[in-house]
Amino acid sequence: MNHVRSLTQAYSQAPWRRQMQLIGLFLLVLVLVAVVVGIYLNVTARAATIGRQILYMQADIENLELINTDLNTKLGVLTSAAEMEKRALEMGFQPIERDQALYIVVPGYPGRKQPILAPEPTPVIAISASLPPAFTESLLDWLWQRAAMISRLAAGDRP
């Protein structure tokens, strides 16, 4: 029995075993640090990539807005009075003379309408404070109200 105990003691106190424990502990810390650093790098790299994509997209949006405005103006040039007259004449149309016009009443036709480029402004409706008190009152307010409620209940008031 003593022999076994001495063997166990010798095993546990062996120098190489303590070294192994230290190395193991060091490696464990190293692995943990590596994992944290790896995760951090991964997340940072992905965030940076997405951030860069957003920057590119913002630049694209700005460019597309420029192009849209430019195209609108080109459309304006293509439908300008001089261009439209030229095209109409090429297609064989002639300007109408006053005595050539035939006037008829078209039931339900309201006439030419003013262009609507955007919706009309809507009336501004004043929004009353709709947040529940829990979002606005302080802790002290809440405690004060509770205390007041308890005192009212104690006095016999119905909740």
User: Which residues make up the interface to other proteins (CB under 8 A)?
Assistant: 44, 47-52, 54-55, 58, 61-63, 65-67, 69-70, 72-77, 79-82, 96-99, 101, 103-105, 112, 114-121
Q: Of 57 and 149, which CB lies nearer to other proteins in the complex structure? A: 57
Least distance to other proteins from the beta carbon of 11, Å? Answer: 24
Q: Which residue has the tokens 């829990």?
A: 134
Question: By C-beta, is 90 or 120 nearer to other proteins?
Answer: 120
Q: Least Å distance between CB 104 and other proteins?
A: 8
| C-beta of residue 77 within 8 angstroms of C-beta of residue 83 | yes
Q: Tell me how far, at minimum, the Cβ of 70 lies from other proteins, in Å.
A: 4
Report long-range pairs for 59-65 (Cβ below 8 Å, ≥24 apart): none
Whole-number Å distance between alpha carbons of 154 and 152? 5
> From the CB of 93, what's the least distance to other proteins, in Å?
14
Quote the tokens at residue 148. 């007041």
Select 73 or 145, whichever has its Cβ closest to other proteins: 73
Instruction: Please check whether residue 153 is in contact with residue 159, taking contact to mean a CB–CB distance below 8 angstroms.
Output: yes
Number of other residues whose CB lies within 10 A of the CB of residue 137: 13
Task: Say how many CA atoms lie within 13 Å of 88 toward its Cβ.
Answer: 11
Residue with smaller CB distance to other proteins, 32 or 78: 78
